[in-house]
Structure formats: C-alpha cells, structure tokens
Amino acid sequence: MKNTETPTTTQAAAFAETGATGAPGKAARTRKASTKKAAARGRKGARRAVTKKLTAKKPARAAVPRGFSKKAIVIDLLKAKGGASLAEIMAKTNWMAHSVRGFVSGTIRKRMGLKVESAKNDAGDRCYLIVGK
C-alpha cells in the first residue's frame, strides 16, 4: 500500500528547483497572532496607567482626628504627661500589641508626621510619648 500524500522524489526535485523553502506539498503558514494576545497587550498598558495613578503622591492627611475615634484616643493618651504604656493603649483600644506598634510607627509617625519617643518605664513596660507640637 502506497501513501499518496507523500511526495515522490521527482516532485521534491521539482519543488527544490523553484527555489522555494519548506517541505513540498505543504501550504505556507499564514496564521497571525490571535486577538486575545493583542487585547492582553492593550490591557497591560491600561494597567500601567492605573498603577501610575495609584502610586502618585497623595496629599498629606489632616493631623486632627475625629472626636471619639481610636486614633483620637491614642493621640490623647500619648500627649498626656509621661505618655502611655503599650498595655494602657491596648486596654483602651482593644488592639493587640503589634497593632499598637504599627499604628504608632505608620500612622502617627509617618502619616501624621508627629515625633514619638519610645522608652521603657521603671516597671519595664514600653511607653510612648508625643513630643513637640
């Protein structure tokens, strides 16, 4: 049994004489990139634009918190004479220790720009105090 689709040696020789490249009897590849890839490239540019908007410098927030928020409670505690210990802040706000430390460093120091001193009191507890302003 002979496969009729396989080119014979005479067909291959004739194909080679024409100067064509590729296998004889096969059509040239004309497939283009799918529209999914083009759409993905377009979305990638849109994502970059959105990211630039989100990372743009935001205006500074007001240093004055709302009346009875936890932020106001912590600031009042830290402005008191002698400041407040970590345990006191945890009791008033019902936060865990890592949350208090993160709030002091992230919100009070970085966002609000207030200077906070941290020291250990006589009992060995960590105390925070807002100095200046």
Structure confidence by residue, pLDDT tens digits, 46-69: 666 666 666 666 666 655 667 789
- 70-131: CATH topology is Arc Repressor Mutant, subunit A (1.10.10)
Say which residues have a Cβ less than 8 Å from residue 72's Cβ, sequence separation at least 6: 65, 66
The pLDDT of residue 124 is above 80: yes
- Quickly state the pLDDT bin for 26 (edges 50, 70, 90): low
The CB-based long-range contact list for 113-116 (8 Å cut-off, 24+ gap) reads 113/60, 113/63, 114/63, 116/78
DSSP 71-110: HHHHHHHHHSTT-EEHHHHHHHHT--HHHHHHIIIIIIII
What percentage of the chain carries pLDDT values higher than 90? 42
